């Protein structure tokens, strides 16, 4: 089996031997432009890809192609129907980043409450050296214990964040599906979570139903001084509305690991360095060494399953 990896750069410098041991040849490219895909996959049985698009015409004309492995959970970059028509399994990676993302979210929550970045910047600017006493207390520090965390999206990630938050003494509210008529046991209506949460953390997928879920109206319903954390998808939050809520002082702070365009080559209103108590990280919550190693191991497992005649984590057949 000949294999080609179209965008290895997204996984950084990892040990690929679990995959190399299962194929006769593995060709790797750091990145692949859309107009290079057809030529680069020609003659290969297996394509490994993270975010590079595999369009219907490319799949249809890749006559040697037998298996597509996506080294991520999202498969929206692959035309699944085109692969299905040719009987090509599309296998992804699942659950690999739960611990990594949950750790990142809790880090963001703690950093917002302690004003960690503000104090770091103050020290670097020499404010501590000019202080009249032994410490600086220029930014309000809030204890997380006893605060209420609202979670929107209670899959594996939301549940992992809830467990860690409870260990810190936080009270957790799990939101019912927005717009649902009934509220299941153990859940709280979405609107009530907005109104009661000191911190709102998003863990739902980006769909047509969740796009701009957190808009100006939703932000206005949140408690004055509350925090918003988004490590899900950028489009779930209306970014200009979030900027306005921060500038007005209605929100006490926010932290995001995702933006509506990634990378933000055309700029983004959330990159305004004057915004108060805002933390932006570059979609890195998932990226611990351990999580990325799990992706490699799961991909090898997917290849092994295909060779054995029982594809694993197949999303299209």
Instruction: Point out the residues that are catalytic.
Output: 233, 262, 283
CB 173 within 8 A of CB 150: yes
148 Cβ contact list (under 8 Å, min separation 6)? 170, 171, 172, 173, 196, 197, 198, 199
Which residues, in sequence order, are bridge partners of residue 198? Answer: none
Counting Cα atoms < 13 Å in the Cβ hemisphere of 47 gives 30
Please name the residues in contact with 13: beta carbons below 8 A apart, sequence gap of 6 or more: none
Nearest to 260 by CA among 232, 220, 218, 299: 232
Dihedral of alpha carbons 209, 211, 213, 217, sign: negative
The DSSP symbol for 254 reads E
Q: Which residues pair with 46 in a beta bridge?
A: 3, 67
Quote the tokens at residue 289.
Answer: 């060494």
Secondary structure (3-state) at 47: strand
The 8 Å CB, 24+ separation contacts for 302-306 are 302/69, 302/91, 302/93, 303/1, 303/3, 303/19, 303/22, 303/23, 303/46, 303/67, 303/69, 304/22, 305/91, 306/66, 306/67, 306/89, 306/91
């Amino acid at each position: 089996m000949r294999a080609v990896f179209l965008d290895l750069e997204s996984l950084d410098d990892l040990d690929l031997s679990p995959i190399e041991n299962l194929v006769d040849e593995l060709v790797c490219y750091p990145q692949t432009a859309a107009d290079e895909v057809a030529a680069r996959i020609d003659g290969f049985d297996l394509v490994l890809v993270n975010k590079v698009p595999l369009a219907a015409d490319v799949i249809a004309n890749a006559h040697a192609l037998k298996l597509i492995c996506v080294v991520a959970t999202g498969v929206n970059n692959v035309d699944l129907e085109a692969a299905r028509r040719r009987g090509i399994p599309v296998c992804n990676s699942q659950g690999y980043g739960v611990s990594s993302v949950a750790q990142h979210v809790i880090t963001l929550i703690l950093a917002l409450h302690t004003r960690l970045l503000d104090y770091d910047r103050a020290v670097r600017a020499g404010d501590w050296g000019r202080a009249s006493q032994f410490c600086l207390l220029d930014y309000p520090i809030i204890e997380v214990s006893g605060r209420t965390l609202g979670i929107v999206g209670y899959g594996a990630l939301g549940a992992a964040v809830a467990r860690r938050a409870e260990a810190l003494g936080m009270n957790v509210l799990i939101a019912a599906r927005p717009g649902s008529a009934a509220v299941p046991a153990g859940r709280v209506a979405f609107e009530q979570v907005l109104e009661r949460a000191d911190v709102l953390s998003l863990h739902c997928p980006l769909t047509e139903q969740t796009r701009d879920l957190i808009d100006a109206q939703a932000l206005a319903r949140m408690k004055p001084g509350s925090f918003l954390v988004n490590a899900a998808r950028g489009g779930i939050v209306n970014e200009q509305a979030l900027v306005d809520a921060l500038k007005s002082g209605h929100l006490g702070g926010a932290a995001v690991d995702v933006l509506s365009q990634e990378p933000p080559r055309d700029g983004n209103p959330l990159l305004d360095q004057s915004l108060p108590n805002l933390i932006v990280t570059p979609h890195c919550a998932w990226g611990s060494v351990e999580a990325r190693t799990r992706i490699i191991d799961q991909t090898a497992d997917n290849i092994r399953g295909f060779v054995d005649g029982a594809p694993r984590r197949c999303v299209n057949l």
